[in-house]
Each structure stands twice: as structure tokens, then as C-alpha cells.
Amino acid sequence: MATKEKKVTAETPVEEAPKKEKKAKKEKEAPAKPVKPAPTEARATALNVRVTPRKARLVLDLVRGKDVKVALGILANVNKSAAEPVSKVIRSATANAVNNFGMDENSLYIASIWANDGMRIKRYLPRAKGSASGLVKRSSHITCVVKMR
């Protein structure tokens, strides 16, 4: 079990030098990466919110197209169960715009906001004479997109 030892000679570094030069040439020849344009919008999504989409859309219609601060003020005074998750999504989209993209918080408005069907939980409801009827508990995905004016 003898181990083989490599003999280090003066020629070894000379062989590796051309390889390094070739790599350096390839790196110089590569074109520069294009600069991405500044983002103009930010979005946030809340998934599987336990509010039906139909009820959520009633609240969303109140704030669509409004400034963020005005929309949050409206939602603070709305007596609907969907008002709290909608305001959380708007605050999250605003935070994404300010922290990730450097937008001005005072000039943001809600460009678009919508609610889609989420997961449906299927249960049954006991009925008379030992029968049962179906019960579907709906949830929604709420998405908000904010832009600068």
C-alpha cells in the first residue's frame, strides 16, 4: 500500500498559466448584463383567507383606485369581516413598495385589487331522518397591486 507522490517540477505552473489566461479572455469577451428598469409597481397576496370571495369583493370595490392612506382610513370604518384581511394586504403591498423598491409611501395608490376563489373545505350538515346535506366553506386569495402617482 504505497502511496504515489506527485513530483512537483518547475513546468507544472507553466502548464496552468495558459488556462488561466484563456479564462480571463473569456470573461473579458462576455457582454455586460443589461440593467433592469426600475419597477413601477409592487404587489402582495394573501392566500386562503377565510372570507368568501363574494363578500371580499364588496369591500374591495370601496378602495379600488384610491390612495393607500385614504383606503386604509375607509377600511378602518367599514363593518365587514373582510375589512381586516384587505387592509393587511394593502399594508403589505405598501411595505413591499417602500422597502424593496424604494418608492415614496405618500404617492402610492391602489392600481388594482381583486379576490379569487381559494381552497374550499367540504363538510356535511346533518339533516332530518338521518340524512345529510353538503356544506362548502369557501376561502379567497386577495391580491393588491400598488403604483406611484
pTM of the entire structure? 0.75
What local confidence, expressed as pLDDT, does residue 39 receive? 87
- pLDDT value, residue 32: 77
Tell me what pLDDT residue 75 has: 97
pLDDT per position as a tens digit, 72-122? 999 999 999 999 999 999 999 999 999 999 999 999 999 999 999 999 999
Lowest mean pLDDT among 16-25, 87-96, 97-106, 124-133: 16-25
Using CA atoms, how far residue 88 sits from 45, 82, 97, 98, 141, in Å, is 10, 10, 14, 15, 13
**For residue 24, what pLDDT band results from cuts at 50, 70 and 90?**
low
Question: Is 120 in contact with 95 (CB distance < 8 Å)?
Answer: no
Helix, strand, coil shares of the chain as percentages rounded to 5? 45, 30, 25
